[in-house]
């Protein structure tokens, strides 16, 4: 209960005292810390569980990468992502890729993010393209944003998030006609602003 309410100090302290911890309980603790602003503590818990002999699973890595994304922990996120396959023999799934790409893009590392996208063993979904759009927004790169927007639109033309973000990118470099046109595109299609895929607008700088 405490882990879901934001009272991390009260929620995590009893967990530490539990003797019979398992991977599931560690996952809950790491996710709770990540969600409620305790990114560094979440990574400490991630490392602690391994020192105590617990092997992280897919969900553990998702939570750890989520924490890195919200805490701006680029180096930690990079090590965690690359350790999945190299150290633990776990192939990153689309969610893992999206979390890592989003982390890189939010911190202006657009080139590295593009390399990760190119190396994905499956086709990027709209959430991945949306994460790249976040990077374009950070760097005010309207040219690349147009290319990314084209890819995203091929997958999900009725996604409002990518249209709004593209419009914001145009506005940031004073390309006002293009900004208006981008917003007009989804309005003409009667796309609701409430619609959107996972992660597309998460953490977008305003």
* Length of the chain counted residue by residue: 206
- Is the distance from CB of 198 to CB of 127 less than 8 angstroms? yes
Q: What are phi and psi of 101, to 5 degrees?
A: -65, -40
Average pLDDT over residues 3-15: 53
62 or 198, which is more confident: 62
Check: CB of residue 67 under 8 Å from CB of residue 100: no
Give the list of residues 6+ apart from residue 71 with CB closer than 8 angstroms, or none: 39, 40, 42, 43
| First vs last C-alpha separation in the chain | 33
Mean pLDDT of the chain: 78
Domain boundaries, the chain: 8-92, 95-183
How high is the pLDDT of residue 65? 97
125 pLDDT higher than 70: yes
Looking at per-residue confidence, does 25 or 152 come out higher? 25
- Residues 31-73 have pLDDT tens digits of 999 998 889 999 999 999 999 999 999 999 999 999 999 999 9
Of 54, 57, 4, 66, the C-alpha closest to 29 is 4
Residue in 170, 106, 95 with CA at minimum distance from that of residue 134: 106
- Most trustworthy range by pLDDT among 22-26, 65-69, 177-181: 65-69
pLDDT (mean) for 82-100: 96
In contact, 109 and 117? CB cutoff 8 Å: no
Q: Is 75 within 8 Å of 63 (Cβ atoms)?
A: no
Task: Tell me: pLDDT of 133 over 80.
Answer: yes
Average pLDDT over residues 86-109: 95
Q: Residue 17 — pLDDT band, cuts 50, 70, 90? A: low
Distance separating alpha carbons of residues 82 and 158, to the nearest angstrom: 34
């Amino acid at each position: 209960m405490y882990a879901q309410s934001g009272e991390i100090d009260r929620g995590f302290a009893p967990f530490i005292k539990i003797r019979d911890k398992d991977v599931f309980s560690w996952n809950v603790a790491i996710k709770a810390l990540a969600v409620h602003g305790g990114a560094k503590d979440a990574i400490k818990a991630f490392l602690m569980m391994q020192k105590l002999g617990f092997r992280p699973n897919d969900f553990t890595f998702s939570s750890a990468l989520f924490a890195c994304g919200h805490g701006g922990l680029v180096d930690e996120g990079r090590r965690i992502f690359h350790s999945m396959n190299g150290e633990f023999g776990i192939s990153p799934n689309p969610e893992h890729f999206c979390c890592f790409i989003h982390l890189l893009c939010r911190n202006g590392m657009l080139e590295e993010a593009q390399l990760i996208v190119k190396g994905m063993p499956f086709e990027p979904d709209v959430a991945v393209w949306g994460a790249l759009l976040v990077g374009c927004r950070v760097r005010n790169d309207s040219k690349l944003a147009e290319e990314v927007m084209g890819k995203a639109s091929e997958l999900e033309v009725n996604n409002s998030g990518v249209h709004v973000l593209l419009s914001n990118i145009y506005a940031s470099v004073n390309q006002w006609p293009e900004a208006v046109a981008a917003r007009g595109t989804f309005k003409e299609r009667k796309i609701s602003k409430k619609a959107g895929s996972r992660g597309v607008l998460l953490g977008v700088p305003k």
